[in-house]
Every structure is written in structure tokens, then in C-alpha cells.
Amino acid sequence: MEKQEHIIDEEQVNERIDKVLSSLNNEWSRTQVQTWIKEGNVLVNGKKIKTNYKSNLHDKIEISIPDPEELDVVPEEMALDIYYEDKDVIVVNKPKGMVVHPAPGHLTGTLVNGLMAHCKDLSGINGVLRPGIVHRIDKDTSGLLMVAKNDYAHEHLVNQLVEKTVTRKYRAVVHGNIQHDYGTINAPIARDPKERQSMTVIDNGKHAVTHFQVLERFPDFTFVECQLETGRTHQIRVHMKYIGYPLAGDPKYGPRKTIDFGGQVLHAGVLGFVHPRSGEYLEFEAPLPQDFVELLNKLRNNR
């Protein structure tokens, strides 16, 4: 069990303790913090408190973070669209609607379930629920992912992500007509303090950079290619909303009146990286899914 301490400063005085703690770490949801408080894993000045406790200046907060529960993930036979595979790496084209890895309460039907049936040797660095997963894309985003078969490959691929040498290009349809042919969005991203299930651009967020290029314009929409320099949660969706061109079909960050697409119109089409063992640069491209192609044709016909 991991233990952390925090002292309440002047800016945090008279705030609910669950709100204070959830703001300290983007990975801690307010609901999770409330559970820790109810279980007695949060002490204030050595005493248990309730979730509605209001903080005082110089309160000493002690947080005991329980070890993650080890859950058995069941291998499931499924048709995987594999673009590349060797003893170190798998590159797979994930369909829209598939979750990348299991979570408590949702342990089946994910890409990891299918990968575990396909091969038994996935990296264990990310734990039982996310074996082999180096990076991920959202459930309703289609496209290419690299998966590590062993810890050696995993560490090399993660280092490339950190060093920003991995090529990741996405195709998207956004609301509005972008006038510039090219652009770069450099805006920090963190969890939205008002809506914990969403991300937002915020001053104290993590560094985030997205480059975009206009591919085609329609009266009310623009077809773009976005290249990630960093890889924050929901980065493209948050950044395009931030500059006033939210993704079409996006249920979380898009406008209420949007395209009925069953999710955001976003496809991770190009993935390139240096092979962790051979040192060779590999790049793969997955064509647009059929529903994406049909949407573009519909937009062209409505011009």
C-alpha cells in the first residue's frame, strides 16, 4: 500500500477534502477519493473524517492508496486485424467500438482479451489489466496501436513516446471551416476540475502539442489530419474543441447537434516507430473505415 502526505495551503482552505485530493492527481477521481475516505484510508491530523470535511490551513492529510486489485482477464478468441507481428511487437488495427483494455466491471470483449487468446507472451509492465499496452486510443476511435510482447520491447517503445519520436497521424472530421491550411495547437491538458470524467485545456495541465493539416473543406465541416507530438488523454478531441472546431460526432466534447456517427469521427491511420531490437524504422498505414469513407462521400455530395 502506497502512502502519501499533503499539507493544506492557503488556496485550499475551506474546500471539501475529496475535491482537494482529486485535484492533486489527474488519476484520482473524486469518486475514488470518496471511497478511500469511507474505507478509512484518508486521515486528517491523524483522525478519520467524512467526505464532506472542509479543510483548514496546515491540515496534515495522510493518504493510504490501496494496491490495485488483481483481476483475471480471460482470453477470448476474436478476429484481430494484425498489420505486423514478431517476437517483440504487434501492430493491430482496432475497430471503432472496441475498448482497448479491461477495467473493473468490464473484463470482456476488449482488445486485450483478444490479444491474450492470440498470443501468450505480452509484457507485464502495465499489470494484469493492461498487458502489453504501450499506448491506447479511445473506444470509438479506430486505428493502429503498437503492443509489446515483452518488457524489453515495452520499455523501448515507451521511451520513444516520451522522446516524441513515434509517428502518430489521425484523420478526423471537425465542425466548422478551418481557414488555415496548417496549424499547431500548443495548450496544456488536464482533467477538468468541474467535470472529472472529461479533460480540458488548463494552465496547470500537462504539456500537449497537436499539429494539423487541412485535407478537404466542406460548407460546415473540415476533413483534417492531426499529428500528435504528445499523447495526452483525449488530446485531439480537446485541442480541436479548444480552437473552436470540435470533432463531428463527439458525444463528450462536440456540440449537441452533430453528426450521428456512433462516436467521434477519428481514425488513427498512421503509426511509425523504431523497432526495439533491430533498430529499423517501421511505419504502417490503415485505410479509413468504410463508415468514415461513406461520411466523406455524403459531405462531398451535399456541397
Pairing of strands 182-186, 281-285: unpaired
Is 72 one of the catalytic residues? Answer: no
| 125 DSSP 8-state letter | T
Q: Phi/psi of residue 300, each to 5°? A: -65, -40
Which of the residues 18, 59, 88, 138 is marked catalytic? Answer: 138
DSSP state of 247: B
Q: Which long-range contacts (CB under 8 A, 24 or more apart) does 183-189 make?
A: 183/211, 183/212, 183/243, 184/209, 184/210, 184/211, 184/212, 185/209, 185/210, 185/211, 185/212, 185/239, 185/240, 185/242, 185/243, 187/239, 187/242, 189/232, 189/233, 189/234, 189/235, 189/238, 189/239
The answer to whether the CB of 158 falls within 8 A of the CB of 170 is no
Catalytic residues: 138
